[in-house]
Structure 1
Amino acid sequence: MSSTIVKICGLSSPETLLAAIGAGADMAGFVFFEKSPRHIDLETARTLGRLADGRISKVALAVNADDAALQDIIDALAPDYLQLHGHEPPARVAKVKARFGLPVIKAAGVATSGDVEAARAYEDIADVILFDAKPAPNAAVPGGAGVAFDWSLLRGVAAKHWMLSGGLTPENVAEAIRLTGARAVDVSSGVERERGVKDAAKISAFVKAARLS
């Protein structure tokens, strides 16, 4: 049986990046969105990018970013993936892929079965669909709120390559995988000791729990 792919998102310091690498995570997510408590600047991205090189896949998360902003992020981090976490329509995702030549993870907010169905518009464009809890209409940040959605909505989901996110923790990730059949999981707030600050022990516990499921 293949091992669950684990992404630790919102890393912002060398210590927590090294904790994710040491725990055996597959992907490290870096947030480029100023409203997020996990936002990093381009200089920090250069430092963390060099530290991650050859040790873990780097994912650059952006929200409704234009091409110039994405180019700055790519120049600083040299990511392996771009994660588009805003309201980017399928045509925009296709344009980003064509312009930058990087695989794209597209976040899709889920509250109902209709949201899961709507995400299929990205299935042949995005390389991975990330099913996350749908933010409230007035939310300042479109993710990382530690809120789960009804995982049963993903039973038998048709998307070929997808990842589960939203409210996952070391305590519930195994159950989430069992209910959804997810082969890849993404966590941010669930491995923090305070908002925006990752906890090395929780990162380790999360990876272990995901892999034992």
Structure 2
Amino acid sequence: MSSLQIKICGVTTRNALDATIGAQATHVGFNFFPPSPRFLTLPDAPALAAQAEGRITRVGVFVDADDIVIAEAVAAARLDAIQLHGKETPARAAALRAQFGKPVWKVISVAGAGDVAKADAYADAADFILFDAKTPKGAALPGGLGLVFDWDLLKAYRGPLDWGLAGGLAPANVAEAARGTGAALVDVSSGVESAPGVKDETRIRTFCFNARNA
């Protein structure tokens, strides 16, 4: 059996969270980026936080958010980690880690080998790197679009931080992705949905099963 970690991102309902926990995912992502169809409002966050308590690691997803937005979400969702999915610099990541005392994940958007190398700048500023597909210029969202990048770019990567893989993952390709890259964690959002922002419980279960048996 694999020790691969699994994150189901963009969970907004109790049923989806139940499915995520029941499928033995290790992390759940709560999205606090308002333009996203997976946006979790602050009033809805405490109930999901309580449901997740002691059962799964809660990761908050932010895109160039200010301190107040992050502080409110950390409190409402009882976040265990902060994921930065914007243009946050190493200095910004380090400042947030110091301010909130939480592990910080930095998403690195990848289109080529040079993008992968950018992760090294966060060696002393973040705790975990998440490689995701770079979205087209002008896209309204920085992720969650089902885009895949060339996983071969990660085959030789030996960075200073543990890292995970996102971008276009789905039940059908997660095992191949995990085996081919050696990622410590796989992260899925749109790949387990029946419509944008609508999680499909069967797809969540299948994704987690295939990831665990990669």
Bucket of the pairwise TM-score, normalised by the shorter protein = over 0.9
Gaps spanning 5+ residues in structure 2: where?
none
CA distance in 1: counterparts of 2:2 and 2:212, whole angstroms: 9
TM-score (norm 1): 0.98
- C-alpha deviation, 1:121, in angstroms: 0.6
Gaps spanning 5+ residues in structure 1: where?
none
Residue matched to 1:203:
204
SS at match of 2:108: strand
Q: Is the 8 A contact 2:46 2:77 kept in 1?
A: yes
Per-residue CA distance 1:101-160 (angstroms, 9 max, x = gap): 000111000000000011211123211100000111201110100010000000121223
Aligned-pair RMSD on alpha carbons?
A: 0.9
- C-alpha deviation, 1:188, in angstroms: 0.3
Residue matched to 1:85:
85
CA distance in 1: counterparts of 2:203 and 2:2, whole angstroms: 23
Q: Is the 8 A contact 1:7 1:27 kept in 2?
A: yes
Q: Is the 8 A contact 1:123 1:129 kept in 2?
A: no
Taking the TM superposition and a 5 Å limit, the aligned residue runs for 1:32-71 are 32-71=32-71
Residue matched to 1:111:
111
CA distance in 1: counterparts of 2:193 and 2:201, whole angstroms: 8
SS at match of 1:108: strand
| Identical pairs, percent | 51
Residue matched to 1:74:
74
Q: Is the 8 A contact 2:49 2:77 kept in 1?
A: yes
CA distance in 2: counterparts of 1:58 and 1:50, whole angstroms: 10
TM-score (norm 2): 0.97
Residue matched to 1:194:
195
Q: Is the 8 A contact 1:58 1:81 kept in 2?
A: yes
Taking the TM superposition and a 5 Å limit, the aligned residue runs for 1:173-184 are 173-184=174-185
CA distance in 2: counterparts of 1:116 and 1:30, whole angstroms: 25
Q: Is the 8 A contact 2:152 2:181 kept in 1?
A: yes
CA distance in 1: counterparts of 2:11 and 2:2, whole angstroms: 26
SS at match of 1:176: helix
Residue matched to 1:127:
127
Moved over 3 A (4+): none
- Aligned amino acid, residue 168 of structure 1: L
CA distance in 1: counterparts of 2:41 and 2:196, whole angstroms: 18
**Relative to structure 1, is the Cα distance of residues 202 and 2 closer, same or farther in structure 2, using a 3 angstrom cutoff?**
closer
SS at match of 2:31: strand
CA distance in 2: counterparts of 1:114 and 1:96, whole angstroms: 26
Taking the TM superposition and a 5 Å limit, the aligned residue runs for 1:26-37 are 26-37=26-37
Q: Is the 8 A contact 2:2 2:212 kept in 1?
A: no
- Aligned amino acid, residue 148 of structure 2: A
Q: Is the 8 A contact 2:107 2:129 kept in 1?
A: yes
Q: Is the 8 A contact 2:2 2:213 kept in 1?
A: no
- Aligned amino acid, residue 35 of structure 2: K
CA distance in 2: counterparts of 1:69 and 1:162, whole angstroms: 26
